Amino acid sequence: GENVEQHPSTLSVQEGDSAVIKCTYSDSASNYFPWYKQELGKRPQLIIDIRSNVGEKKDQRIAVTLNKTAKHFSLHITETQPEDSAVYFCAASIGSSYKLIFGSGTRLLVRP
């Protein structure tokens, strides 16, 4: 069945360093790849997304890259800050449907 794998499960970085989270997906027809941030006890919120016709997208300190051939996409956070500490989820649409399948999440800790 459809599957999204996410790595690493936990990531600890020093403030100011970069963080990279990687995901792979199984459905070659997937065309939409969002990233959500969930702070402790809060709801997931969209931070950036990318569609299959684009290879890279950037928004200030965060960027997402997509390799459709290899079926993987990555989240890059530069100049990390303590407020970036949260759980980050990648997701992929299932084919052309409106379903999103989420990865298992990455707990990011930014040490001051």
Q: Per residue in 33-58, is it b (16+ CB within 10 Å) or e — as a string?
A: bbbbbeeeeeebeebbebebeeeeee
Beta bridge partners of 57: 64
* Per CB under 8 A, 99 contacts another protein: yes
Nearer to another protein, 28 or 45 (CB): 45
CB atoms within 10 A of CB 28: 11
Taking CB under 8 A as the criterion, the residue among 105, 106, 108, 110 binding another protein is: 105
Q: Please state the closest distance from residue 55 (CB atom) to another protein, in A.
A: 18
* Per CB under 8 A, 46 contacts another protein: yes
Nearer to another protein, 14 or 43 (CB): 43
Taking CB under 8 A as the criterion, the residue among 25, 73, 88, 89 binding another protein is: 89
Report helix, strand or coil for 105. coil
Q: For 36, left (φ over 0), alpha (ψ -120 to 50), or beta?
A: beta
Taking CB under 8 A as the criterion, the residue among 11, 13, 63, 101 binding another protein is: 101
Which residues lie near another protein (CB under 8 A)? 32, 34, 36, 42-46, 49, 51, 89, 93, 97-105
